[in-house]
Amino acid sequence: MRGRIRPKRYRGLAAWLAIESTILTITSVMSFVLLRRIASALGADIRRPILAVVIGVVIGTAVGLTATWFSRRFNQVVSGLTRGLRSVAEGNFTVRLDPGQAGPLKAAYTDFNNMVEELQSVRTLREDFINNFSHEFKTPITAIQGFAELLQEPGLSPEDRQQYLQIIAGESARLAELSNSTLLLSKLESQRFIPEKTLFALDEQVKLCVILLSSRWEKQDLTVSVDLEPAQFYGNAELMRHIWLNVLNNAITYTPSGGAIGVTLRRTEDWLRISVSDTGIGMTPEVRAHIFDKYYQGDPSHTGKGLGLGLSIVYRIVELCGGQIAVESCEGTGSVFTISLPGTRP
């Protein structure tokens, strides 16, 4: 990611240097004026060589002491920044600098702390990704390997061969989807803001997502009702699309044949609220408490239909948007997911 240095943040350093120069000049002038008055009071001629030397020594000493104080103070804050950078270079991402002790480098100390937080976040995400990758990807890879070996056995019937090929194709698709979802979630967790925002029709996007999934809910003979008030939203349209597809897919997956799904969008003065309700199997309090956890699947009978990442992705996107997501559900009576997004304009 390319960054751009913002000069305004470092005006404090320029001000520090300007103040130092001004104080040194004032110190020189005041020392000269003071010594001249003392000499005049004593009736001495400041043009005499000895007196001129004394005045020069006194002025030089005053200026030198002042300059030394400024230099020592500046060296202290620079040394603090240098020690912090050395710690980071050695792999210590827990180090933090106190901006209150930074003097003219307060902005630099703050930027250093932000940088270290980002690096720590990247390291954590990398470790989590590796651990989750090795664990969650093991099942489809093992299945693909196992059935590929079975295909090599002699005397395999055409029916068995076709069945094994279908399993390999399905697990390959699942592996690809798992890879894309894991990478997307890892990227979202490392972000601190939503990039590439535009103003778009949120109601039209939700409607298109419902239509896109029509083959699924029609196959299950589900009744889908849509009631969307016109609404504009300022955000990343591609990321928002993930929210509606994941929530709708979740509702379709856990709603038995003949059930119903409702989608509504309502505007208030400050919020846009989108609700997706279903008449599905619902959730126990324990399941409801963990549905946004990565790779969590509450119903063992549906583990083959999902990845356990969809709602984690939804939660993170909503969080980055400054919104909220609430879930109401009881076992056997269905669920309602309500997503509240800030209705502010750019």
Q: Using 50, 70 and 90 to split pLDDT, how confident is the model at 104? A: low
Report, as an integer, the average pLDDT of 88-113.
72
User: What is the arithmetic mean of pLDDT over 89-98?
Assistant: 75
Residue type, 184: L
Assess whether pLDDT exceeds 80 at residue 243. yes
Average pLDDT of 48-65?
A: 55
* CA distance linking residue 199 with residue 331, whole number of Å: 38
Model confidence at 302, pLDDT cuts 50, 70, 90, reads very low
Determine the pLDDT at residue 161: 87
* Rounded CA separation 129/98 (Å): 32
Give pLDDT, residue 7.
47
Dist CA 16 CA 77 (whole Å)? 12
Quick one: pLDDT at residue 22? 60
3-state secondary structure of 328: strand
DSSP per-residue codes, 13-25: HHHHHHHHHHHHH
Q: In this predicted model, which residue has the larger pLDDT, 70 or 269? A: 269
> Backbone phi, then psi, for 98, in 5-degree steps?
-90, 105
Task: Classify 235 as helix, strand or coil.
Answer: strand
Q: How far apart are CA 301 and CA 98, in angstroms?
A: 53
Distance CA 302, CA 250 (A): 11
At residue 313, does pLDDT exceed 70? Answer: yes
pLDDT tens digit string along 113-128? 787 777 776 666 566 6
- pLDDT band (50, 70, 90) for residue 3: very low
Q: CB neighbours of 285 closer than 8 A, spacing ≥ 6?
A: none
Query: Is the pTM above the cut of 0.85?
Result: no
Q: Which residue, chain included where needed, has tokens 């989807």?
A: 177
Between 58 and 321, the higher pLDDT residue: 321
- What are phi and psi for residue 341, nearest 5 degrees? -120, 140
pLDDT per residue over 173-227, tens digit each? Answer: 777 777 776 777 777 776 777 888 899 999 999 999 999 889 888 999 999 999 9
First to last CA, the chain: 24
Tell me the per-residue pLDDT of 33-54, one tens digit each, with 9 for 90 and over.
555 555 565 555 545 555 455 5
When pLDDT is averaged across residues 58-81 and rounded to a whole number, the result is 61
pLDDT class of 304 with cuts at 50, 70, 90: very low
Return the amino acid letter for 113. Answer: N
Residue range 310-322: average pLDDT?
Answer: 89
Residue 299 above 60 pLDDT? no
Stretch among 11-20, 66-75, 99-108 having the lowest mean pLDDT: 11-20
DSSP state of 106: H
Cα 174 to Cα 54, 128, 297, distances in angstroms: 88, 20, 15
